Structure 1
């Protein structure tokens, strides 16, 4: 694990103390139990006794859902199968977000494209209302042919984005260096399928072909190992990875999880071969200097 200075250790100790009365929950999801369909007028459907959910988009509307629970740290996995064929103009999202003008947010966004062209996986992190931290990737497989697992690990030290267990991005807690980190606002999980042909595909040059509608994305196998937030308190009882856990409270090792040497090699492989945009190298966008977090060199 990366070393921390005294201020960082003090801040971490205070955070762990605040959360010390919580219970870490882990469960395999059921869409009836865990999510509410929030918009789409029937275009979102829960199927197979809650094992699968589909979102659809037509010219009149898209659709979306959100988690019933709010979370303050967690490891969340969701399997998605994206819109096949000509998906230009469409955006499928899976993200965590709080509310309000100083909201926090952790984003997966899948930008559709013309048939035969790859999807763009767009990621972003907002903290205290500040975003503009985009990294974009091509995927090393066809995300429309089968389900793949997209994971967000969010603990007090870092955020790790992963695809099929392979890390693609890390955003570290650099509060001690003046970089806000999402660690105080509970967030819900959201997902949507909507039309964004004013910007999503080749900067808006390629529009949605409504002859292919309805467009459909599918979800299954949601899993959460997380601290659930209820008004005014979290529900975790222990944050120690080595602490004993009851049958309903599995290991909380994710709360201290970092990248081992093998995972760091995989991260470098993805970023070398599949990253197509990184805000931390865009000096034209930041002529006065790159954001402070971009100067950190450790990836774990």
Structure 2
């Protein structure tokens, strides 16, 4: 990160071994100043990415359009550092300063709350105590408003609008 520049959060969804569904966001805070909560809510209807309980991205199940959705695959969450400074860092404008290595990230209070199709949920979060978690509800009005705010003000890359990458037409899920 260039001093004083916003940090970028990169998201991607992989299904059947294929990703290429990237969205990138400037964070609206300095993530080095305090711990923050990064969450993924993964339901058969959609996958929601959140930062400090603010939704930043929704990847809807578009199997009806022929788009694979990771509903029958084991869940894996990866956090990694890789050299993608030819494209991922503000379009390749910022190069990684490898002389600053080693790079370290800290995690605390990692928690996985699970629900199975046939079983019950293990969530202790009161937000889901009314059954909304099990029912797969869509985002409420306030969450939709916050999602639009983030996407309007902080999204810097969306594969669904990248004409250079998809000159023959956008992927089917982008038409939803």
TM-score normalised by the shorter chain: which range applies? Answer: 0.7 to 0.9
**CA separation in 2, counterparts of 1:292 and 1:269?**
24
Aligned to 1:293: 173
CA contact (8 A) 1:153 1:254 kept: no
Higher Rg: 1
Look up the SS of the partner of 1:192 in the other structure.
coil
Look up the SS of the partner of 2:40 in the other structure.
strand
Q: Say which of 103, 119, 123 aligns to 1:237.
A: 119
Deviation at 1:204, TM superposition (A): 4.9
Listed as ranges, the gaps of 5+ residues in structure 2 are none
Aligned to 2:37: 149
Look up the SS of the partner of 2:110 in the other structure.
strand
Correspondence 1:262 to 2:142: yes
Deviation at 1:273, TM superposition (A): 0.5
Deviation at 1:203, TM superposition (A): 4.8
Which structure has the highest strand share of the two? Answer: 1
Q: Which runs of structure 2 are paired with 1:33-52 in the superposition (5 Å)?
A: none
Correspondence 1:253 to 2:132: yes
TM-score calculated relative to the size of structure 2: 0.83
Aligned to 2:154: 274
Deviation at 1:271, TM superposition (A): 0.6
Deviation at 1:214, TM superposition (A): 3.1
Deviation at 1:123, TM superposition (A): 0.9
How has the CA–CA distance of structure 1 residues 289 and 199 changed in structure 2, closer, same or farther, with 3 Å as cutoff? Answer: closer
Deviations along 1:4-58, one digit per CA (max 9) or x if unpaired, are xxxxxxxxxxxxxxxxxxxxxxxxxxxxxxxxxxxxxxxxxxxxxxxxxxxxxxx
Correspondence 1:222 to 2:104: no
Deviations along 1:162-205, one digit per CA (max 9) or x if unpaired, are 00000011011111221111111112333334555555435556
Aligned to 2:11: 123
Look up the SS of the partner of 1:258 in the other structure.
coil
CA contact (8 A) 1:193 1:217 kept: no
How has the CA–CA distance of structure 1 residues 205 and 261 changed in structure 2, closer, same or farther, with 3 Å as cutoff? Answer: closer
Deviations along 1:206-245, one digit per CA (max 9) or x if unpaired, are 4433443332211111122114xxxxxx695247xxxxx8
- The alignment yields a C-alpha RMSD, in angstroms, of 2.6
User: Could you say which structure has the greater relative contact order, defined with CA pairs below 8 angstroms and 6 or more residues apart?
Assistant: 1
How has the CA–CA distance of structure 1 residues 158 and 148 changed in structure 2, closer, same or farther, with 3 Å as cutoff? Answer: same
**CA separation in 1, counterparts of 2:59 and 2:158?**
13
